[in-house]
């Protein structure tokens, strides 16, 4: 035997000790990690090779109904707001309302000094009287001329001249009548009345102001507040969700109970700056408890879709712009891309990629294990329906 060379039973003893040490180290490491998603068990796939199998919770793709609430910040505004100005030039003689006043349709708001317009009205009435008198005189002259023409006393040329004069007099009478109507219109416009029931939001002019039509002098801003309108901008990603008649709830700070309403308008145009579309809802306000301009949180409940494929929201993972789930197939976790429709708090609608009954990895395991790993399904916690 040469010095430094070990033979015989000693070498086998050293190898056995090394194997036992490695095995003990592996058992110690396995005991330190007791999470369900990382618990592994050696399963002989081929003789002499151990494959790690991960226990995972899973759920089956099922059919059911789902609805998605649409939430957005909004504002409650007046149903109508009118900037009421003058239609004629003149001096403001009276302003009958103040800010905060409530008015009914037809109530006077302000008056322009009518003096010059009443003078023009009297002048137009006199002008019509003159035109009527001239027309009557020519009618009488024409009647006598026709009688004399039958006696061959008046020439046909004179008769034709009187006929023409009568036509001109009738036209002047119609013109005078229109002038009178316009003068009356101007007098009526000196007193401006409320076009609908509302509240005076602003009073911009006081007595003595010279009001002009161009540029128009706005005297009063009137708002219709008996019925208000809630407005919310909905992202275009939820374009197909909101429909006319969908129920909605408005939550306003300072008002304890939510306000129930329905969608009354859906704008057909997307705002290119915000990529949103406008949705409106009528808000009855008979006691004037709400004020135009307040902030509101809008929640719209679109109609639920029934008989659609559903998976747990916890099963879905989005990476690099692609959405996928892990499907258990032949004992392995297989990444399957899917297209998602409506989503709720606990479930999501699957439009493409899955079939009913397939097992889907859920929970933390859906985000932690890698596709292709060997898995063993364990029971998942029961979930409420979507």
Q: Is the pLDDT of residue 386 over 80?
A: no
Instruction: Check residue 303 and give its pLDDT.
Output: 79
pLDDT bracket for residue 92 (50, 70, 90): very high
Higher local confidence (pLDDT), 286 or 385: 286
Secondary structure letter of residue 268 according to DSSP: S
Instruction: Check residue 1 and give its pLDDT.
Output: 39
Q: Is the pLDDT of residue 132 over 90?
A: yes
Contact 132, 220 (CB under 8 A): no
Mean pLDDT value across residues 342-359: 86
Alpha-helical segments (H) within the chain: 9-32, 115-150, 156-188, 365-368
What domains lie within the chain, and their CATH numbers?
57-66+305-379 (2.40.420.20), 71-80+224-300 (2.40.30.170), 114-189 (1.10.287)
Give the Cα separation of 129 and 170 in Å (integer): 12
Give the Cα separation of 242 and 262 in Å (integer): 11
What is the number of helices (H) and of strands (E) in the chain? 4, 23
Mean pLDDT value across residues 268-281: 94
CA end-to-end distance (rounded Å), the chain? 80
Instruction: Check residue 66 and give its pLDDT.
Output: 82
The pair of structure tokens assigned to 101 is 């006043």
Instruction: Check residue 333 and give its pLDDT.
Output: 92
Q: Is the pLDDT of residue 170 over 70?
A: yes
Instruction: Check residue 369 and give its pLDDT.
Output: 87
Contact 87, 232 (CB under 8 A): no
Contact 146, 163 (CB under 8 A): no
Mean pLDDT value across residues 207-211: 95
Adjacent-strand bridge partners of 83:
221
């Amino acid at each position: 035997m040469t010095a430094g060379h070990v033979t015989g039973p000693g070498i086998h003893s050293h190898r056995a000790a090394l194997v036992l040490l490695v095995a003990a180290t592996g058992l110690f490491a396995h005991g330190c990690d007791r999470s369900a998603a990382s618990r592994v068990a050696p399963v002989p796939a081929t003789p002499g090779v151990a494959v790690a199998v991960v226990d995972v919770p899973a759920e089956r793709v099922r059919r059911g109904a789902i609805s998605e609430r649409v939430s957005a910040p909004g504002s409650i505004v007046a149903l109508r707001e009118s900037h009421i100005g003058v239609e004629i030039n003149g001096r403001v003689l009276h302003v009958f309302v103040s800010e905060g006043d409530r008015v009914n349709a037809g109530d006077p708001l302000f008056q322009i000094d009518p003096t010059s317009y009443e003078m023009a009205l009297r002048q137009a009435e006199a002008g019509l009287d003159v035109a009527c008198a001239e027309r009557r005189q020519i009618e009488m002259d024409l009647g006598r001329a026709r009688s004399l023409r039958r006696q061959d006393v008046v020439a046909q040329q004179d008769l034709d001249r009187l006929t023409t004069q009568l036509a001109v007099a009738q036209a002047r009478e119609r013109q005078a009548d229109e002038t009178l109507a316009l003068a009356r219109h101007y007098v009526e416009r000196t007193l401006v009345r409320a076009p609908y029931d509302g509240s005076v939001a602003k009073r911009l002019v006081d007595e003595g102001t010279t009001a002009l039509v161009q540029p128009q002098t706005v005297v009063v801003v009137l708002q219709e507040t008996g019925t208000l309108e809630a407005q919310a901008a909905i992202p275009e990603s939820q374009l197909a969700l909101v429909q006319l008649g969908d129920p909605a709830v408005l939550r306003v700070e300072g008002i304890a109970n939510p306000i129930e309403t329905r969608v009354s308008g859906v704008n057909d145009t997307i705002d290119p700056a915000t990529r949103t579309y406008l949705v409106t809802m009528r808000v009855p306000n008979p006691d004037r408890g709400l004020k135009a301009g307040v902030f509101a949180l809008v929640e719209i409940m679109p109609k639920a879709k029934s008989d659609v494929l559903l998976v747990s929201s916890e099963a879905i993972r989005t990476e690099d712009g692609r959405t996928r789930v892990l499907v258990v197939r032949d004992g392995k976790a297989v990444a399957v891309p899917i297209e998602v429709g409506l989503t709720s708090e606990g479930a999501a609608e699957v439009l493409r990629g899955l079939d009913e009954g397939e097992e889907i990895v859920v929970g933390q395991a859906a985000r932690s294990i890698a596709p292709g790993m060997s898995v063993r399904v364990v029971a998942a916690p029961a979930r409420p329906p979507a």
